[in-house]
Every structure is written in structure tokens, then in C-alpha cells.
Chain A
Amino acid sequence: MFVNQFLFLAAILFCIGVYGVIARKNAVLMLMAIELILNSVNINLLTFALRNGSTDGHVFALYIIAVAAAEVGVGLGLVLLVYRNKKTISLDDLSEMRG
């Protein structure tokens, strides 16, 4: 079992995701980056599940997939509403919450 390769893949995906969340200005792209992070976690869970021969990791991964679907639904809905109100989805322009 090549556990390392899977973990490296997961780590790389995670880093790309984090970079996307921090550096992207576009809200939709940021949501996509969040998906990358979630899926890198999924890969980790599945890797260890396969290594330990248990189904727990599979269950968690399925659970995460289901929750992620809901999350993207809500997220895209928010982005849509923001666009309707402000005609932009650039995150830099959305700083009304600053202290």
C-alpha cells in the first residue's frame, strides 16, 4: 500500500486549496478552493480507512461529500444574492463588515 503517495496528494491539494482561499478575489473560485480542501481531507480519510481495513473513513468521506454539496448550494446562493445587490462578486469590494 503506497500510503505516502496518497498523503502527499492530499497535502498538495490542501495547500492549493489554502492558497486559493487566501489569494483568489473571485467568490466562486474561493468556493472551489474550499471544495479542494474538503476533498483533500476525504483522501486522507480514505487512505487511512484502506490502511486500517475499516469502513469508518468511508462513512466520514461520504458524510463530508453530502455536507459539501449542501454547503456549495448555500454558498452559491449567497454569491448570487451578493451579485444581484452589488453587481460584483469580487471579495475585495465586500468589506462592509470591517470594524
Chain B
Amino acid sequence: MNLFASESEVLAPLMSGWFLEHAWLIPVVPAIAFALIILVGKRLPMKGSELGVLSMFSSLVLAAGAGYQWIQRTNSATEEQFVEPVIKSWSWWQSGGFNFGIGQHIDGLSVLVLIVVAFISTLVQIYSLEYLRGDRRYTHFFAALTLFSGGMLTMVLADNMILFLLGWEIMGLCSFMLIGHWWEDDANSKAALKAFFTVRTGDAGLLVGITMLYFSANDWTQEHLGVSGFSIRGISAWALSGEPNSTVITIAAVALFIACIGKSGQFPLHTWLPDAMAGPTPVSSLLHSSTMVVAGVYLVARLYPVFFVGLDILGSGGNLIMVIGAITIVISAALAFVQNDIKRVLAYSTVSQLGYMMLGLGAGAWMPAVFHIFTHAFFKACLFLGAGSISHSASHHSFDMKRDMGGLRKVMPITFVTWIISTLALCGVFPFSGFFSKDEIIDNVGHNGYTNFMIIGLIGAFMTAAYMTRATYLTFFGEPRGASAGQMVHDSHDLHDTHATHDTHATHVADDSHDSGEAHGPHESGLLITVPLMILSVLALGSGFLNATPFGESWERMKLWVEPRHSEFAPELHHAPFMWSKASLSLVIVFAGIAVSWLISSRLFTKRDPRLVGLTQRVKLLGLGHKFLVNKYYLDALYEKVIVRSIAYPIASAAYWFNQNILDGILHGLANSTRKLSGWVYKNIDQRVVDGTVNNSATFTKSVGTAAQPTQSGKVSQYGALLFSAAAVAALVLVIINT
């Protein structure tokens, strides 16, 4: 079965353990919990939410156990030895010679993502206990949330592409349900549909890619490894074997990457991500930190050999992944500057960070990109939950920074501190976690010879620092405005943007009950909200030290545990040596971004400097740029007005024209000639020849009909009985003739 069976005898035996062998239980637990919540959730004391939290916690324990044993396994291997993944595979169903498996593929990457997903899901569920208290679809929310995490976990540990696709699609479905959780509002159901269809557009690529890989790899994998062409392990080895036709593997890699563009919100299909903010905040947090959007990046990291060979990663001049990643970084960071909704700023920031991950993967910086998935999950989840905390307790369910926030650092100290830590991590300030991952990506991109892309990465870092400072300033500094200042007079339905509106009416009942004793002004959130925030901010601060390249080789634990060593399953990658000179350059850029943005923000928003206020109205060029950004580069308009219309409308009008001119013309012509013909026929044939015959046969038929009348009882059952007896007689005759 194994090509290198003889070789592995020489190498050290690898350790394994119960948790590694039974890692497939991790997604099974949430799946069972989902079924239970749907069936009996409403009758339970906490309306089914306890099942959700419990299942995610058990998954976390299982994943942590698997992580611990994986570390032992890597430690038991020698320095250069490829650590074999723990693979289990069962036959799921077969049809016409195709065998579809189900199983687990546990290696460093999948263990890492499993732990992150289970961890963030647990915290988000705990947070939702408070945030969605009293919601009218509380039970269904927890059911969907649990299934959503289950889908991601399934996808992460899938050993073959069919199971991978299953998890991928479960997530697509659940994201639709969760984004449209408050579907009574038209905007929400539209956002849910948009998310679903945009991702669907990319999914076509996934199907094409999987099918192409299967049919081109199957023979090779069956012969050399004894696994089907769906197996991730088989595909990886096949891609690196030098066997595949370069055109085929390139097209397959591009098709798979289109799926990643859709799922991970890369340019030009990023438009669904900001709209997905219509869902409840915990959903945004889960969607944008560890699940859903990471799926695309995960697919690239998982099938890295295919992309490595197919798109010529490490080749000169860059490739599709890098170009898309770089474009995404800059354009989404630019969009974040013109948003007033705090969640939309974070959404564009997520898109931009995903661009970094793609850029890293495209440039051969596999490890930094995967590490960025890890650190980004913590600080982005913390930022989203922080935004939720503000809207829940301070700004009366509004997410509008300009109208309803400001000066919140005094009333919400915990939220403020966690927010600042996560923001610094996102900007990549030393020693917060983002520094160790993002700077590594930028550094490695430059090291692998892509200087232009490194510069784009640095520009992105500057913009990240600037827009996050703007958001922080608007939210926590300056004078309180609107709801944060305690002004409750305005009717939120009229004044707020749509997102604030549905948050309001969904949680309004709950608010009245738990806030009845105190003033309705801004205050710090409860423990169920602040404790997850604190845990996440500690990780946003500390998780970077797991792969702290500045401190030397002995600190690079994550690289040791996660990165597959060069073998027939993994391409050989190099790492840039860490240099403080390069790192300090990017740190200077980040601090410059913070400083510039701070100066402009304080002058513009607090001091109302007349030179800055209304600048976009006075300078035409700036105004045009601003309008261009506010309209999101007109991409939405392009998709809805141009593409959808250009396909749907011409078809309709062409069909109408065809109907009016061609079909009607033919019909009219036919009708006229038929009329003339029929006049002649009537006189000569009908009256004389036919009628005579007809009259005779009518008399005959009438007598027959009268005889057969009783069978036409009008009762369907009787007809059925006749039909089946006739069929039975016919069958009997057939049998007799054939024997």
C-alpha cells in the first residue's frame, strides 16, 4: 500500500493515541446536538442552548486532546521525518464503481484549525446566551449555530474531497439561515440570499475542481497508494509526483481557487461579506473569525500541492493567488475608511486580512499564512464581540459609530481594554499576536522575491492601522453622541440604518426585562459577554508567542508542530530569516498609520477643524473618490444591474419578440390558408363523402357505446382495478409465451 513502506521501518515509530484515532467524534458531537436541539430543545429549561454550549465544549475537549497527542506525535519523529497524518477511512456509499468514503485526515493543520473552531464556537455560544436572550427564535438560533460549527469541523478533518464538499455546503446553508435569522426584515433576507448565491457562484468551481482532480488522479492514486482520487492524501502525492498534465492541474487549481474567492470573500466576490453583517453579532463573529471565510483559505492550505504545482507558486513574477490576495488587501482596506457602521469596518478588515492569508499562501509562505488564520481568529472574534457588547449595552442596538457612539472608554472599561488589545494585534504591533503572523507573511513574500507584493502588504498594514484607529477614535474617544450620550428620544426605526433596526426589535423585549431596575443609559455588559472578551483578548495578546520568530528557532513551536516536512506529500518551502531591520520598518509604518489617522480623526471629529470638515464636498477629486468608495466601487451595481439584467432581460424581450413576430406570423398565415382550404373541403368532401360514412358509423358506435356504458362508472378505483387486472392478464400471457 505505501510506496515508502521499506523506508519508514528505518524511521522512528510515530506515537498515536485515543484522541487522534477518534478525532472523527469532534464533528459528530455537534451534529447529534443539532438533532437534539431541533427535536426537544424547546422543552428544555434553557430552550436548547445548554445542548449547544455543551456540545461545543465537548468538541473543544476532544480537539484539545487531539492537539496534545499530535504534539507528542511530532516530538516522537526525527527532525527531518515527515509526520504521517492519522487517516481513517470508511466506505460511505458506492454507485456504479465509484466508492465514496468518509473519514478523518488528522495532521498539524487540521488539528490547529479544529482547536480554533471549537474554541471560538464555545465562546460565541456562551456570549449568545446573553446577547440573544429572549429572542423569538432562540432555539433555532442555537441549532443553526451548532450545525454551522459542525459543518466547519467536518470540512476541516475530511479525508476526501466529497466529505470536504459536504462540510463546505453545510456551512453555506447554515450561514444563509443565520444571516437571515431576523428574516422579517427585507434587508436581512436579501443579505442572506446574497451571501448564499455569491458563495454558490464560487461553489461551481469547487465541483469542477473536485471532478477534474478525481478523473485525472484516480488511476495514479489507486496504483501507488491504494486510495481513490478523492483522497486528500492521494491528490497531494499525485500533484507532487510530476505525473499530472500541467494544463489539467492548472485548470483544476484555478477552478478550486474560484471556490475560495467566493467563500473567503476575495475580490471580486467579496461583496457578500459586509452585507452578511445583517445577522446577529455572534454570527458575524463566528463567520468572520474562525469559520466560513477561513474555509477558502483552508482549502488552499489543505490542497497546497495542487496549487503549488498548478499555479506555479514560488515561480517568478507572481501568480493568480497572490494577485487576487494583493488586490483584496488594498481595495477592502480602502472601503473600511468610509464606513460608519462599526461592524462593516470590521467586515472589510476581515476581507483585507484574508487577502493577507491568500497573499502568503500564494507566495509560498504557508506557515505564516496558517499562523495568521490562528491569530486572526482570536483578535477578530474579540473585536466583533466587542462591537456587539457596545451595541448591546451602550448604544441601544445601534452600530452607527458617528451617530450613536463616542467616549465609551469610561463607561465600558473592559470592552475598551479588550478592544484596544485586539486592535493592536490586528494592526500588527509588537508584541501582540498579529505582529508575529502578519509581519512574517510580509517578510516571507519579500524573501521569496516578490518585492512589489511586499510593498502592497506594507501599504495594507498602513491602511489597517489607519482605519482601525479611526474606528477606535469614533467609538471610544471624543464626546458621547446619540444613544451613548443617553439620548433615547429618537425612534430607531426611522433614524438608524437597517442593521440597527432589527437588532432593536429582536432584543427589545429582553432589554426591558433585564434593564428594568437601572437607567437605560450606557453601561458595561454582563459577565457572559465580558468573560469571553477577556479570554479572547488574552489570546490576542499571547497566541503570537507560539511562533515567535524574533526570539530564535526554539520559539518556533507552531512551525515544528504544524508545518508538514518536505516529503512526497508536501513541497519544500523556505523561511525568511528574521531581521529586526525589516520588522522595525513595518512597525514604523504601522505607527505612522496610527499617528496620521489619530491626528486627522481628532481634528475632524472632535475639533471640527474647518480645513478638514466637508473636504470631500469642496475638493472635487476627493469627492469623486469618496463617492466611488461609498458605492463600493459600483461592484454591487455591476452585479445586480448589469450582469443579472443583461442575462435576464434580453432573454425575456427576445422571447417576447419571437412570440409576437415569428410565432404569431406563422400562426396567422396558417390560419388564413387553412380557412380557404377548409371551405373547399367542406363543400366537396365533407358534405358528400364523409357525412354519409359518419352517419352510418355513428349509429354503429352508439349501439356499442350503450353496451359498454356500465364500465364507465366514473369511479377511479374501478378504472384502477380494470387497469391492473388487464396488466396482470398481459403479464401472465407474457410469462406463458416466454416459457
Contacts and interface: CB of A to CB of B under 8 A. Distances in A.
Contact of A98 (B713, B717, B721, B724): B713
B716 A91 contact: yes
A53 to B, nearest CB: 8
B715 interface: yes
A97 B96 contact: no
Nearest to A62: B95
A5 interface: no
- Is chain A's interface secondary structure helix, strand, loop, or mixed overall? loop
A23 B721 CA distance: 9
A85 interface: no
B45 interface: no
B96 A55 contact: yes
A4 interface: no
Contacts of A58: 95-96
A22 B714 contact: no
B98 to A, nearest CB: 9
A16 B712 CA distance: 25
A99 interface: yes
Contacts of B717: 21-25, 30, 91
B716 A99 contact: no
B705 interface: yes
B720 interface: yes
A99 B724 contact: no
Contact of A95 (B709, B715, B724): B715
B713 A22 contact: no
A98 B712 contact: yes
A94 B715 CA distance: 7
**Which of B708, B709, B716, B717 is the most central at the interface, judged by chain A CB atoms within 10 Å of its CB?**
B716
B735 to A, nearest CB: 14
A30 B719 CA distance: 13
A91 B720 CA distance: 12
Given A55-B96, A91-B717, A97 B724 contact: no
A53 B717 CA distance: 39
A26 B717 CA distance: 10
Contacts of B96: 54-55, 58
B714 A98 contact: yes
A18 interface: yes
Contacts of B714: 94-99
B95 A30 contact: no
A22 B720 contact: yes
A22 B712 contact: no
B716 A94 contact: yes
Nearest to A59: B96
A21 B725 CA distance: 13
Nearest to A54: B96
B720 A99 contact: no
A90 to B, nearest CB: 11
Contacts of B716: 30, 91, 94
Contacts of A22: 717, 720-721, 724
Contacts of A94: 714, 716
B709 A99 contact: yes
Interface in B86-121: 95-97
Contacts of A95: 713-715
Interface in A63-99: 91-92, 94-99
Nearest to B721: A22
13 contacts: A18-B724, A21-B720, A22-B720, A23-B717, A24-B717, A55-B97, A58-B95, A58-B96, A91-B717, A94-B714, A94-B716, A95-B714, A97-B714
Interface of B: 95-97, 705, 708-709, 712-717, 720-721, 724
Ranked nearest first, the 8 interchain pairs of A and B with the lowest CB-CB distance are: A98-B714, A95-B714, A99-B712, A55-B96, A97-B714, A21-B720, A99-B709, A22-B721
Given A55-B95, A98-B712, A99-B709, 5 more contacts: A55-B97, A91-B715, A94-B714, A97-B714, A99-B714
